[in-house]
Amino acid sequence: MLIIPAIDLKDGQCVRLKQGLMDEATVFSNSPGEQARHWLAQGARRLHVVDLNGAFAGKPKNESAIKEIVKAVGDDIPVQLGGGIRDLDTIERCLDDGVSYVIIGTAAVKNPGFLHDACGAFPGHIIVGLDAKDGKVAVDGWSKLTGHDVIDLAKKYEDYGVEGIIYTDIGRDGMLSGINIEATVKLAQALIIPVIASGGLSNIEDIRKLCAVEFEGITATIAGRAIYDGSLDFATAQAEADRSTQR
């Protein structure tokens, strides 16, 4: 299982939010490229980058910082990017900038035709981010809950040809309250494509719990606040995940 460090960008800085609230941002670094090199040196095999300003604005706002991150890691590891990606031209620009995977969130829910077209135009590069609370999908930077069921939508997106699903329990994200294992497993069992767990990862015990259900189709987890505030050591977490896979 991959442990994927998150780099959340706000106004060109690396930050973490609590439950997606922009005014609850903690700045961890003023240099996105330096932060990316740090995780690469720690053994990261993929980076998860979110343009927070872009997510709220509906179009990318931190392009220079994203380019800095891609340049910092070079061809060593892939970068997956989300936040404000709502049209094919934006996807093409992101991929041209060196991003390996583009994450479509709100636009996938509001405009499924766009997602379908994106999967056709850029096969192998499209991941859907599904943010949910109590099994219902949220959109627009988590500000609106919809009536859509997570599993029903994910199955539809799988048929479109998406590369995987990032599932975030928005009630837990940034709160260090533990991954919602039960809901993540339920989603993974309903799909063939990989599921990446997100939201609430807090300590090494969460890693062990996820590794125990990896066989269900949960291939990775995104680590955010826990690896920044020290409650989870990234290198130790990845080593633990690797050992679990080898058992």
Q: Which residues are catalytic?
A: 8, 131
The answer to whether residues 103 and 85 touch, using CB atoms and an 8 Å cutoff, is: yes
HSE on the CB side for 239, CA within 13 Å?
A: 6
The amino acid sitting at 80 is Q
Q: How far is CA 161 from the centre of its chain?
A: 18
The amino acid sitting at 231 is S
Spell out a b/e string for 152-163, using b for 16 or more CB atoms within 10 Å of the CB, else e.
ebbebbbebebb
First to last CA, the chain: 12
